[in-house]
Amino acid sequence: MVGCQDDWLAGTDGTGIGTIHATVDFRPMDTGLVGKSRAAGDAIKSITNLYVLLYDYDTGSLVRSEEITAGKYELKDVERSDADAENGHTAESQTKQASFSLKDIPYGKYRMYVVANMPDFLSNHKDDIQTVDGLKSVRLVWNNDTAKVADNGEMLGYFTANTANQPEDDPLVINSKNMNLHAWLRRAASKITIAYDGTALKEGVFVYLKSVQIKDIPAECYLGKANNVGGEGYTLNCPTGTDKEISAKMLDGQKIKYYQGEEEPTEFNSSYSGPRLTAGNPKYGSHDEKAPALYFYENMQGEGKDKRQDGNKDGVLDAPGLPDDTTYVLKDDKPYGTYIEVVAHYESINSEKLGSGNIIYRFMLGQDVLKDYNAKRNCHYKLTLKFKNFANDVDWHIEYEEPDPGVVTVDPYYISYLYNHSMMYPVKINTGGRKIEYIKATIKDNRWAPHNANHEVYYYQMDKPGENQWNGFLSLHKTSKLVITGTKPFTALSNKAEYVDSIPAQGVRTYKDFSIGTHTTENSEDDDTYRVEKLEGEEHTYNVFLPMYTRAKQLIKETGYTGNNPYAAYQRKAVVEIETKLEGLDPVFKKEVTIFQVNRVVNPKGIYRSFGNNKSFHVVLKNLPQENAEKFEVFESEGPWKAYVVKETNGTGIKLREQQGMSSLSNDTIYGKTGSNIDFHIDFNQGTDNLADNRYAIIRVEYNNYTCYHLIFVRQGDKPDNLVEGGAEWYAENMRTKTQRAESPLDEGSLFKLGNWDYPIDALNNKNPKSIWTHVKPTDFKLYPADGFVIAGKPNEKKTWGEITFPSTITDGNSLFTFSDPTSDMKVASAQEYGELYKHQDIAEGYGVLYGDNAVEVGEHINDVYGYDYEHSGTGRGMRGCFVYNKETGKNLFFPIGASGYGHRKEKENGILRYAGQTAEFESSNVAVYPNGVNDVPLFYDVYKRPGAIYWAREWYKDTGSNSISPDPVVGWDFNYYTFDFFPITHFSTGGRKDACFVRCVRKK
């Protein structure tokens, strides 16, 4: 007769006592939603206490329970592989492992469980754990305190005789005195990380991330059973009612706030304190193990409708609209489901689809992105929100609405830092089938001052919101004047007449013709036009482009106000009200929009190469983050950008090349994406040029949606050349001694007293008294070096200021000859030759940093950007100065202002190195000129420390003709780096002609 017996009794009498050597592993989280990848958080990653429970296999009753207290188990980290995860894709590289022994276990068949991270579990749940089903049904309650996420780390596991995934229902057979058992612990909770990808966004589209939150999470969960919230047989607490009521009562979980500070931001631009996604800077977040994560209890909701906006791909949204619309489907018909909500701000300056406002993205959790709504336990869900086109073409549900009828404006928008420049401001109007009666634009605020600057860097007392708009940079009408003139006394009201009383007034404009095409307004110039376009694909929607302008270079020179932005570290701000009236509809639509005049860009402004030097130069535009910063920083373009050669002479060998991964090249133009750095290369190739002559090129960089531009001047070769046909041929370098020019156009050369070739003050003397020239105060200016000046060309000879004489002059009619000719082919440039450039219609000036032969990239520290001298000629340093250039030919000539920033030593201060006439904060004792002192001229407040240089002319020149460059005798030329000024200077401003200044020569004809 053949008999049967259980395998576990084989070879024994079925009785005995064994010791279990247990290993408990923390089951690594599975990867959810995406394929194989490693990532997990560490908020629920520890074991704080352990309990073991044995149940009789046949009856399911508890036979033994025990707490494994601290000191009775060994804890360590163990590397994990895909094989350790239930779904074959691990999301954690390491988890905890606990090892301990459990003695005196009778032989038999059991189910054996381990519980972790539940303080006082055995006493608190004594009645619940008497059966296996009771154990699995233990109620867990979610702790929603963000600081106590780890309190939700409850885990349950069962023991097997090996580490393989043995079914839970298989009996655990104890049949020897020493057995090795293994258990995998699984969390009741899961986690989700969210990443963002804007690679496919359109140009001119910005997504500002505000927050992400996990919503409608279970407030309670079973310790070991599927947590089918609201489902059949569910015994834990959950809300009831209509779908909307259920969702409203569900628990909202953690929120990750992306911006800094307590208050939600109201301004959205490059200074936003959180992540901003664009086509050029498209990614944020990761699924790394320690990436910020959201946690939640398991929520099993089965399968349902397709989650995607357009599941059947017919081009029509399956459930469009907002929560109160009849077409809207709340949570994809899963009222108990858990979802992710991303809140963002959306801006589109792309004229294809202008838009602005808050936008919400929602996604229902599950095992896939289609129909599964089971948010299982012990999973790491890795969700990536991929934006496409205008940030509304994603598979998430979107809540965003535009008014119909309504007006959409973009905020902020940008205009050039240079005077007399323009941009077209876009306005999107959905008429709802009505007629547009008018649009009226009014400048409400128009600042002369830096935006968001520390009070120490400017005279903030006259930076008054909504006041004195006539001193600001913005105009609604074209401004063609270079200089606005006025008469003393000069006050804060001096520029008012030009702004308010001129026809047309500059601060207000009304538009009345909305037929498709280009139009102008009453009393405007013919080329001062606005444009109306019909938006393709939208029946009643139009884009109207309104012109806006920066104002004249000098808004009455004596007031200091200017259409240029003098600040390299700050924007300037204006606010314009756009009022739109639709026929038969009241009230009117009013929108206030911010217009920023961008920071002045100076780094880089020019590149010089000598003949035969074909080193490439890597351009990356940089700005100072604040006035007293020591380092320049790269900045992003607020919209697409491009760079191209706009003018050249003999410059076909000067080419642009893209920076790999940052920009692209097409038809000799470099293109960059929204939100990217302005990054490209200038190459100097052999080309087909006449290599005996200088090469010139002007590179135009258009950025911020092409509304702003910056010029970079390129020159190769130092052969004397004219800037205007038939004009003087200028040498490229300053004079170092009477017969020796400086070694490079960057070299400032020496400072000379008027007419004195004998004692040139060497450039190495011309240093500021402290090594980092920031936070400058009046007391920082000292005579330096104090023991006398090294004489250029005579390194062993020093002279004090008083020992460098001012020679007598020779009178010859109206002229006083001051400098003899240094050589037979050179003479010092005359006031008339400077005046030729000043008056010529094709000549203009740019101010910024020139890099020379040994520079191959843009500098960062201010000492490297500004500090070129002949001892550092091989280090790639730059030099500030003025580029005088021909707008038609691209020819350019550089005038350095010196490594110190001050190309001027002053007689009245015994030779102190300072450009300006003021020695401290501005004070005026002349009430006939400035009756209110600095309140009349706030830009002059700290002029004492502002940079610039003076160049001597060959002779004292007085011109009494009708085309005079100055009514007073001219002794030199003024290069004001701060105010962009290029102007004759008289003996009154040069210490009675006893100061020391730079000298530049022209070829003697």
Dump pLDDT digits (tens) for 351-378: 999 999 999 999 999 998 889 999 999 9
The C-alpha atoms of residue 257 and residue 343 are separated, in whole angstroms, by: 10
- What pLDDT was estimated at residue 17? 87
The C-alpha atoms of residue 696 and residue 650 are separated, in whole angstroms, by: 6
234 phi and psi angles, rounded to 5 deg: -75, 125
Least confidently predicted of 30-34, 95-99, 554-558: 30-34
- What pLDDT was estimated at residue 28? 58
Radius of gyration of the chain (CA): 38
The C-alpha atoms of residue 226 and residue 118 are separated, in whole angstroms, by: 19
Query: Is the pLDDT reported for residue 310 higher than 70?
Result: no
310 half-sphere exposure, CB direction, 13 A CA radius: 8
Query: Is the pLDDT reported for residue 808 higher than 80?
Result: no
Pairing of strands 679-684, 654-658: antiparallel
Query: Is the pLDDT reported for residue 796 higher than 50?
Result: yes
* Ramachandran quadrant class, 687 (left: phi over 0; alpha: psi -120 to 50; beta: rest): left
DSSP 635-662: -B-SS-EEEEEEEEES-TTEEEEEPTTT
More confident residue, 986 or 4: 986
Which pLDDT tens digit goes with each residue over 53-100? 999 999 999 999 999 988 888 888 877 666 555 565 655 666 778 889
Which pLDDT tens digit goes with each residue over 373-388? 999 999 999 999 999 9
The C-alpha atoms of residue 638 and residue 628 are separated, in whole angstroms, by: 24
CB count in 10 Å sphere of residue 108: 21
The C-alpha atoms of residue 559 and residue 493 are separated, in whole angstroms, by: 10
- What pLDDT was estimated at residue 169? 86
- CA angle (324, 329, 335) in 5-degree steps: 105
985 half-sphere exposure, CB direction, 13 A CA radius: 27
- What pLDDT was estimated at residue 184? 86
- What pLDDT was estimated at residue 32? 45
Which pLDDT tens digit goes with each residue over 257-272? 999 998 999 989 888 9
CB-based burial, 783-815: b 16+ in 10 Å, e otherwise: bbeeebbbbbeeeeeebebeebebeeeeeeeeb
- What pLDDT was estimated at residue 343? 96
Nearest to 345 by CA among 285, 259, 282: 259
As a whole number, mean pLDDT of residues 967-994 equals 90
The dihedral built from the CA positions of residue 426, 432, 433 and 434, taken in this order, carries a sign that is negative
- What pLDDT was estimated at residue 2? 27
Domains in the chain and their CATH numbers? Answer: 7-187 (2.60.40.2580), 194-209+237-399 (no CATH), 406-597 (no CATH), 607-716 (2.60.40), 735-850+877-1003 (no CATH)
- What pLDDT was estimated at residue 822? 94
DSSP 3-state of 498: helix
- Structure tokens belonging to residue 178: 């020493």
Query: Is the pLDDT reported for residue 456 higher than 80?
Result: yes
Read off the pTM: 0.87
685 pLDDT tier (thresholds 50, 70, 90): confident
CA-to-CA dists, residue 119 to 27, 68, 149, 155, 729, angstroms:
20, 12, 15, 12, 90
The residue written with tokens 């020569």 in the block is 1001
As a whole number, mean pLDDT of residues 413-423 equals 96
Q: Look up residue 231 and give its DSSP letter.
A: S
Nearest to 346 by CA among 358, 338, 332, 362: 358
CB-based burial, 866-905: b 16+ in 10 Å, e otherwise: bbbbbeebeebbbbbbbbbbbeebbbbbbbbbbbbbbbbb
Least confidently predicted of 611-625, 729-743, 923-937: 923-937
Nearest to 555 by CA among 636, 491, 619: 491
The C-alpha atoms of residue 995 and residue 732 are separated, in whole angstroms, by: 24
- What pLDDT was estimated at residue 812? 46
CA-to-CA dists, residue 936 to 34, 463, 820, 923, angstroms:
65, 12, 43, 10
Residue at 211: amino acid letter: S
- Find the DSSP H helices in 532-574: none
DSSP 3-state of 706: coil
As a whole number, mean pLDDT of residues 796-817 equals 73
As a whole number, mean pLDDT of residues 31-56 equals 63
Cβ neighbourhood burial of 632 (10 Å; 0-12, 13-18, 19+): buried
Which pLDDT tens digit goes with each residue over 705-746? 999 999 999 999 999 999 999 999 999 999 999 999 999 999
CB count in 10 Å sphere of residue 426: 22
810 pLDDT tier (thresholds 50, 70, 90): very low
Query: Is the pLDDT reported for residue 758 higher than 60?
Result: yes
Cβ neighbourhood burial of 15 (10 Å; 0-12, 13-18, 19+): exposed
- What pLDDT was estimated at residue 406? 93
CB-based burial, 497-528: b 16+ in 10 Å, e otherwise: ebbeeeebbbbebebeebeeeeebbeebeeeb
Mean predicted lDDT score pLDDT of the chain: 90
The C-alpha atoms of residue 725 and residue 172 are separated, in whole angstroms, by: 101
- Structure tokens belonging to residue 534: 């019909």
The C-alpha atoms of residue 280 and residue 659 are separated, in whole angstroms, by: 13
Query: Is the pLDDT reported for residue 35 higher than 50?
Result: no
Pairing of strands 379-389, 189-201: parallel
- What pLDDT was estimated at residue 6? 30
- What pLDDT was estimated at residue 87? 60
As a whole number, mean pLDDT of residues 990-1003 equals 93
As a whole number, mean pLDDT of residues 614-639 equals 97
Query: Is the pLDDT reported for residue 327 higher than 70?
Result: no
Q: What percent of the chain is predicted at pLDDT more than 70? A: 90
As a whole number, mean pLDDT of residues 584-593 equals 94
Cβ neighbourhood burial of 489 (10 Å; 0-12, 13-18, 19+): middle
- What pLDDT was estimated at residue 926? 79
- What pLDDT was estimated at residue 116? 93
Cβ proximity of 363 and 382 under 8 Å: no
Least confidently predicted of 788-792, 886-890, 985-989: 985-989
The C-alpha atoms of residue 299 and residue 226 are separated, in whole angstroms, by: 8
Which pLDDT tens digit goes with each residue over 692-715? 899 999 999 999 999 999 999 999
Beta strands in 390-434 (DSSP E): 397-399, 406-409, 413-415, 422-430
